[in-house]
A and B are shown apart, each in its own frame.
Chain A
Amino acid sequence: MKALRFWGTRGSLPIALTAADVRGRVAAAVRAAQGRAFASDAELDAWLDTLGMAAAGTYGGHTSCVEIVTGRDEYVLCDMGSGLRPFGQRALARHGAASPQTYHVFMSHLHWDHIMGFPFFVPAYIRGNRVRIYGGHAAIEDALRRQSAPPSFPADFSLMGATIEFVHLEAGRHYDVAGLEVSLVAQHHGGDSYGYRFAEADKAVVYSTDSEHKLTHVDETVPFVDLFRDADVVVFDAMYSLSDSISVKADWGHSSNLVGVELCHMANARHLVLFHHEPVNDDATIDRIVAETRRYEELARTGAPLRVSAAYDGMEIAL
């Protein structure tokens, strides 16, 4: 495994910046830059990095889609949220339509925000390509066919010219896919979801989204500590604050930044990536959540430091 590349990081529903949002950022940057001179683009970039996402970027608005860059010819993805569309565009631009590719896609679950990108995944319409879709749910094919059928979408699933295969996975078993050892656990979420661990040599990455962790029963917590154990990166559903996740939004199937820190500490994971951002949270709010999560990590730490980041569309983490 070479890297993780995030194509969609938002939870539940895609969002976009408005014209007023962009104008506000430009104005803030211009004000902050007054009196400064930049000798090079690198110097300008370094300064922009100091402004934070709320002034000089955005966490983005595409729903869940994460690429595991393996260094091999075949692609490996997690989920098919709206971020799958720009991923497909990039793959097409890179290879062209005449060069067949294989795409392995691991599905956390079948809720709308995790499958909505598939009808817009152009490589699936191109004969010669191969799309293998893996997951613990029995109804993956039904869900994908249904969302492409009238009256929901104009291009029926049958128009997809690629070879599309569905592979049912069982929690607790290990699989070899595209050179990776893959295992999965069932998660607490409406209609169930699955969290995945991808391992190769001495590297391990966890993709665990749409999962509520109550931590009240050891037998429910241990499988996740095992899943996260010594992982280089844990992509974690931190959609809600702790207070929301155990009160008004209890049993909505999502977790919090605090629980992410605690599970990663228990598992001795190295890097927690906050993921599946609440769509009502703007960039300033997510900036604040990241800072607070880093502070909580310091307060709760009993072992090695845990790196904390918030995922954003376009983010790449080298492994």
Chain B
Amino acid sequence: MECSSKRFAEVTVATLSGKLDHPSAAALEAALRPLIAQGMVDGSPLVIDFAGVTYISSMGLRVLMVAAKAMRGHARRIAAAALAPTVAEIFAIARFNHVLEVFPSVRDALAALSGQAVAAYDAGAR
């Protein structure tokens, strides 16, 4: 599991790749922790880009649940974007599409969260 992050205006985008399974759950939790803490401090919403994620197990989903609870507990938004078909299936089977807001792409997620963020994203893409 790999994780990197980038800021678009006030929105943080965490880009994950690889398998989010039992062996990588601790690394995922460690990677998301500072981004969630940042959201607590400055109110930044968090978008998790799943385009590079090939599989997610119950442990990976549990880490996401903890993240979602922490963000919502501080009235901060958290969204998932660009789920590969396999991961989208697992989200549906686990009923996780009711836990996180899910968007077809990172751009769609940013557009739903912040006009400034999607403008910054579009500017970066040019």
Chain A residue numbers with a CB within 8 Å of B22 are 215, 262
Query: Interface extent on A, as a size class?
Result: 20 to 34
The answer to whether A247 and B69 touch across the interface, beta carbons within 8 angstroms, is yes
**Neighbouring B residues of A299 by C-beta, 8 Å:** 55, 86, 89-90
Do B89 and A295 touch across chains, with their CB atoms under 8 A apart?
A: yes
- Which residues in chain A, 221-278, are within 8 Å of chain B measured between CB atoms? 241-244, 246-247, 256-259, 262
A295 vs B69: C-alpha distance when bound (angstroms): 28
Contacting residues, chain B, for A292 (C-beta < 8 A): 92-93
- Are the CB atoms of A215 and B58 closer together than 8 Å? yes
Q: When A243-B98, A300-B57 are in contact, do A258 and B65 touch as well, CB less than 8 Å?
A: no
| B95: interface (CB < 8 Å) | yes
A258 touches B95 (CB 8 A): no
Q: A296-B90, A296-B93 are in contact. Are A243 and B58 (CB under 8 A)?
A: no
Q: Kindly provide the distance from the CB of A289 to the nearest chain B CB, expressed in whole angstroms.
A: 9
A215-B22, A247-B69 known; A258-B93 Cβ under 8 A: yes
Contact indicator B96/A242 (Cβ below 8 Å): yes
Please report the C-alpha to C-alpha distance between residue A241 and residue B61 in the assembled complex, in whole angstroms. 12
Tell whether A258 pairs with B59 under 8 Å between CB atoms, given A243-B99, A299-B89: no
Q: Name the A residues within 8 Å of B55 (CB-CB).
A: 299-300
Chain B positions within 8 Å of A242 at CB level: 58, 61, 93-96
Q: Cβ of B62 and Cβ of A216 under 8 Å apart?
A: yes
CB–CB B94/A247 < 8 A? no
Q: Are B93 and A262 in contact (CB under 8 A)?
A: no
**A138 CA to B76 CA in the complex, in Å?**
48
B65-103 CB contact bits vs A (8 Å, 1 = yes)?
Answer: 100010000000000000000100110111110110000
> How near does chain A come to B88, taking the closest CB pair, in angstroms?
11
B58 touches A258 (CB 8 A): yes
Nearest CB in chain B to that of A250: its residue: B65
B99 to chain A: which residues have CB within 8 Å? 243, 247
Secondary structure call for the A interface: helix
Q: For window 42-66 of chain B, which residues contact chain A by CB distance below 8 Å? A: 55, 57-59, 61-62, 65
Residues of A within 8 A of B92 (CB): 292
Which residue of chain A lies nearest to B96 when distances are taken between CB atoms in the complex? A243
Q: How many A-B residue pairs have CB under 8 A?
A: 54
Q: Which of B57, B59, B89, B95 is the one whose CB lies under 8 Å from A243? A: B95
- Give chain B's interface residue range (CB within 8 Å of chain A): 10 to 19
Q: Measured between alpha carbons, how far is A214 from B93 in the docked complex, in Å?
A: 18
Distance of A246 Cα from B98 Cα, bound (Å): 13
Which residue of chain B is the closest to A255 with respect to CB atoms?
A: B58
Is B93 touching A215 in the complex (CB atoms < 8 A)?
no
In the complex, residue of chain B having the shortest beta-carbon distance to the beta carbon of A300: B57
- Which among A246, A259, A295 has the greatest number of chain B C-beta atoms within 10 A? A246
Taking CB atoms, residues of chain A closer than 8 Å to B59 are: 215-216
Q: How far is the CB of B96 from chain A (nearest CB, A)?
A: 5
Question: For residue A300, which residues in chain B have a CB less than 8 angstroms away from its CB?
Answer: 55, 57
With A and B bound together, what is the CA distance between A300 and B90 in angstroms? 10
8 Å CB contact of B57 from A214, A262, A295: A262
A126–B110 alpha-carbon span in the complex (Å): 71
User: Would you give the shortest CB distance from A133 to chain B, in whole angstroms?
Assistant: 34
A295 with B95: in contact, given A242-B61, A262-B58 (CB under 8 Å)? no
Complex-state Cα separation, A299 to B95, whole angstroms? 16
Chain A residues near B90: list those with CB within 8 A.
Answer: 296, 299
Residues in chain B within 8 A of chain A (CB atoms): 22, 55, 57-59, 61-62, 65, 69, 86, 89-90, 92-96, 98-99
The 6 A-B residue pairs with the shortest CB-CB distance in the complex, in nearest-first order: A242-B94, A241-B95, A243-B95, A292-B93, A258-B58, A246-B65
- Jot down 16 A-B pairs with beta carbons below 8 A, ordered by A: A216-B59, A242-B58, A242-B94, A242-B96, A243-B95, A246-B61, A247-B69, A258-B58, A258-B93, A262-B22, A262-B58, A292-B92, A295-B89, A295-B93, A296-B90, A299-B89
